[in-house]
Amino acid sequence: MNSDALFTDFYSLTMAQGYWKRGMDSRAVFEMFFRHHPFKGGFSVFAGLESFLEKLKSFIFTEDDISYLKSLKLFDDAFLNYLRDFRFKGSIWAMQEGTVVFPVEPLVRVEGGLIECQLIEGMLLNSINFQSLIATKTARIWLASGMGSIIEFGLRRAQGQDGALSATRAAYIGGASGTSNTLAGKAFGVPVLGTMAHSWIMSWPSEEEAFKAYAELYPDRTVFLIDTYDTLKSGIVNAIKIGKTLAEKGKSFGVRLDSGDIHYLSVEVRKKLDEAGLKNVTISVSNDLDEFIIQTLTDAKAPVDIWGVGTKMVTGGIEAAFPGVYKLSASENESGALVPRIKFSDNPEKTTNPGVKQVWRVKDESGYCVADILTLDDSGGGESIEKGKTYSFWHPQADYRRFSHTLDGSAQPLLVQWLKDGNMIRESCSLPDIRKRLRDDLESLDHSYKRILNPHIYKVSMTERLRTLKLEQIKTYLGDG
């Protein structure tokens, strides 16, 4: 049986043995969150949760795993016997995939024994950080295109097979309408697309013959790649010649540009197609595109119908990783009570928010997002946000900044429970449903937060009760309380 149990940072195992030997497997709560948006954006997209939950099902230490750990001569036999029987028995609360998310708010909350919470850290962060990065990047590209048609072309540039598969899944959530990755199409049901490469055209005596042969083979799915030799003097001329034979049979086709000045060439190609009476022929473009190039072309009204994006979509481009972290927020004390924990730092941004928390999304009467609010959600009684009441909400760094708001719209808790005592209690969502959730979330977000450059900063705040708890804990660690 395949297992992902060793897919973890080594310190998770050394700490786990330490906790086990010291009898420190009491209740604990960890939270995953991130500190800033990638790409200097105004929003991020939560993705990868269901991939993580699927891996968690097979999180066991096989005999082969145990033999490897034993060979390291660091782990006691008794601890290795403990790992043989290990199964995750905790609970997981998380936002739903496709949710638009913001810094410092918990995306995932893991509750269980200290050891099991620690062992799954690496797998959780790996699954969610990468897919959230790619889903966020793709959503930006989709918005830059004017919510147009985006095809993911990144298989050959992705970080290995698993990276390519995960990237395709995340890109589809983020707004891509199809992929060139055939295996991902099988695995996730994402539409697969693609026609020819330059090598097809170069393999024939002439460009015209190459186009003719392809049109005969695939009359219902023909897109001519027109930049192999000369886009305007040869490629589009031959595409029009062969394409007219398809049009006469009632078939539609397209042309694709993969090099050169995309704006100039797309305008000229559109002119030639229209002059030939082929006004319904689509123009696809590729060539190292990203959201900045696409927005420039869109603003310039380049006549592009379909955008093929590869490297900079599936790798994140200028941003190497999604900055998600996993921190202890509460643990059981010697009396058996679950008490808040805080990581204190001289850098205010790295001081965590203590306690077991919920995140509420507050919207106005029109359905637009106003703010996300962090509340305490502990055994002492979870906080709720009710319609008609006026609240003061504080900046999450626990400083003097705050704002008042009378709830005239809605307030929805974003963290929902997925696992209880190690068992799934909620049905998985389909990728189309996740994709729709993102589009609905983006629709409820003011355009100022979705700008590609210099977006407005969305409010993430905390309640008075959570702020007071944080200030008390800071005073304790500073020796003032």
Degrees to nearest 5, angle at CA 61 with 56 and 67: 155
Query: For the chain, percent helix, then strand, then coil, each to nearest 5?
Result: 40, 20, 40
In Å, how far are 123, 161, 168, 188, 434 from 185, measured between CA atoms? 24, 14, 9, 6, 16
Res 344: pLDDT: 86
Would you give the DSSP letter of residue 57? H
Answer for the pair 298, 145: CB distance below 8 angstroms, yes or no.
yes
| Exposure on the CB side of residue 192, measured as CA atoms within 13 A | 13
Quick one: CA dihedral 117, 123, 126, 131, positive or negative?
negative
Res 2: pLDDT: 62
Res 34: pLDDT: 97
Relative to beta strand 149-152, strand 306-309 is: parallel
CA–CA separation, 61 vs 144, rounded Å? 45
Res 481: pLDDT: 47
Residue type, 239: A
Give the pLDDT mean for 56-85: 96
| Exposure on the CB side of residue 178, measured as CA atoms within 13 A | 12
Quick one: CA dihedral 127, 132, 133, 135, positive or negative?
positive
Answer for the pair 100, 43: CB distance below 8 angstroms, yes or no.
yes
Strand order in the sheet with 282-285: 178-179, 149-152, 306-309, 282-285, 253-257, 222-225
CA–CA separation, 39 vs 133, rounded Å? 9
**Tell me: the pLDDT tens digits for 220-278?**
999 999 999 999 999 999 999 999 999 999 999 999 999 999 999 999 999 999 999 99
Residue type, 27: R
Q: Report whether pLDDT(49) > 70.
A: yes
CA–CA separation, 431 vs 184, rounded Å? 12
In Å, how far are 59, 191, 286 from 312, measured between CA atoms? 32, 20, 11
**Tell me: the pLDDT tens digits for 411-462?**
999 999 999 999 999 999 999 999 999 999 999 999 999 999 999 999 999 9
Q: Which of 76-80, 189-193, 345-349, 376-380 is predicted least confidently?
A: 376-380
Res 400: pLDDT: 84
Confidence band for 379, pLDDT divided at 50, 70 and 90: low
CA–CA separation, 474 vs 372, rounded Å? 23
Report DSSP letters for 404-450, one per residue: EEE--SEEEE--EEEEETTEE-SPPPPHHHHHHHHHHHHHTS-GGGS
Give the pLDDT mean for 141-168: 94
Mean pLDDT of the residues in the chain: 95
Give the pLDDT mean for 18-34: 97
Strand, coil or helix: what is 178? strand
CA–CA separation, 171 vs 313, rounded Å? 8
Give the pLDDT mean for 315-343: 93
CA–CA separation, 222 vs 226, rounded Å? 12
CA–CA separation, 308 vs 176, rounded Å? 9
**Confidence (pTM):** 0.95
